[in-house]
């Protein structure tokens, strides 16, 4: 977890003209309307908008989970939707971390096993996978809770396991869809600070969907989406390329 996984300020992802329609009965509803989007390494990019505005659909098209009807997504230099399905799966495994509102943990596995299994799947030898998993769990403050299963963990702890699992493989792109909405204010703050650390210390491009206005303070950039269109795109910090922190210069 110590290496920087992207050059701060460089583009991790560029999407152009992304359009997505869903069939409902005989008609189609256009959920994304020619959306242009980009995200930089080292930035926390917050996507905000009302329920039903297309936030989750956007994240799914950007992360290789849902094919858009039109438009392109270039991520880590790959034209994502030109790849074969198996290559897209590999791309997600190699480059993407995911954090969801519902934690998406395996009920039967301990915190340590949740993280280790992903690293083994990615190709690490068992001992190396376990060592990396322990480091990732320590980084989210869960060293003492590693052997607990989800049913024995609080909501905040579960989300921290999910973050450790996402960060352990040092993703270039970290997607979070409403990661704090099942948490109280204090745990929500811990979670967003961990996402911020992923951007600042590891150079990940963090794309975080939320409608929680308390999180705005942690964003480098805030993008407002409504009815499948981007209404506003505002940078709130000087930018990862412009203002290097001592930590990043020393990395």
Nearest Cα neighbor of 161 from 30, 151, 171 is: 151
Q: Which of ligand ADP, Mg ion, none interacts with 31 (beta carbon under 5 to 8 A by kind)?
A: ligand ADP
Complete DSSP assignment for 179-202: TTTTS-HHHHHHHHHHHHHHHHHH
β pairing state of 96-100 and 78-79 = unpaired
Query: Minimum distance between the CB of residue 160 and ligand ADP, rounded to whole angstroms?
Result: 23
Beta-bridge partner residues of 79: 74
> Which residues 113-142 are close enough to bind ligand ADP by CB under 6 A?
none
Query: Minimum distance between the CB of residue 195 and Mg ion, rounded to whole angstroms?
Result: 17
Nearest Cα neighbor of 155 from 102, 232, 89 is: 102
How many chain residues bind ligand ADP (CB under 6 A)? 11
Q: Does 22 bind ligand ADP (CB under 6 A)?
A: yes
Query: Minimum distance between the CB of residue 68 and ligand ADP, rounded to whole angstroms?
Result: 12
Nearest Cα neighbor of 220 from 237, 241, 205 is: 237
Residue (17 or 50) nearer to ligand ADP, CB:
50
Q: Does 56 bind Mg ion (CB under 5 A)?
A: yes
Which of helix, strand or coil describes residue 155?
Answer: helix
Q: Does 114 bind Mg ion (CB under 5 A)?
A: no
Q: Does 53 bind ligand ADP (CB under 6 A)?
A: yes
String marking each residue 23-52 x if it binds ligand ADP according to CB under 6 A: -x------x-----------------x-xx
Residues 6+ apart with CB under 8 A from 232: 222, 223, 224
Residue (5 or 180) nearer to ligand ADP, CB:
180
Q: Does 197 bind ligand ADP (CB under 6 A)?
A: no
**Alpha-carbon separation of residue 40 from 27, 58, 83, 163, 200 (angstroms):** 36, 17, 22, 20, 11
Q: Does 180 bind Mg ion (CB under 5 A)?
A: no
> Which residues 56-75 are close enough to bind ligand ADP by CB under 6 A?
56-57
Q: Are 203 and 8 in contact (CB under 8 A)?
A: yes
Residues found near ligand ADP in the complex (CB under 6 A): 22, 24, 31, 49, 51-57
């Amino acid at each position: 977890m110590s290496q920087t996984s992207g050059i701060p300020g460089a583009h991790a992802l560029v999407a152009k003209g992304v359009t997505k329609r869903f069939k409902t009965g005989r008609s189609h509803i256009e959920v994304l309307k020619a959306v242009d989007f980009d995200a930089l390494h080292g930035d926390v990019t917050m996507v905000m908008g009302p329920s039903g505005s297309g936030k989750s659909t956007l994240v799914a098209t950007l992360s290789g989970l849902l094919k858009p009807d039109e438009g392109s997504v270039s991520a880590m230099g790959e034209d994502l939707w030109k790849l074969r399905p198996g290559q897209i799966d590999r791309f997600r495994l190699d480059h993407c971390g995911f954090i969801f509102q519902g934690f998406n943990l395996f009920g039967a596995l301990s915190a340590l096993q949740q993280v280790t299994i992903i690293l083994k799947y990615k190709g690490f030898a068992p001992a190396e996978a376990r060592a990396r998993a322990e480091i990732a769990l320590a980084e989210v403050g869960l060293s003492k809770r590693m052997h607990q299963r989800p049913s024995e963990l609080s909501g905040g702890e579960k989300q921290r396991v999910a973050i450790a699992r996402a960060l352990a493989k040092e993703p270039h792109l970290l997607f979070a869809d409403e990661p704090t909405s099942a948490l109280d204010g204090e745990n929500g703050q811990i979670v967003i600070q961990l996402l911020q650390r992923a951007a600042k210390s590891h150079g990940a491009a963090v794309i975080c969907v939320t409608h929680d206005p308390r999180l705005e303070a942690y964003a480098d950039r805030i993008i407002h989406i409504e009815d499948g269109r981007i209404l506003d795109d505002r940078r709130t910090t000087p930018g990862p390329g412009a203002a290097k922190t001592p930590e990043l210069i020393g990395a």
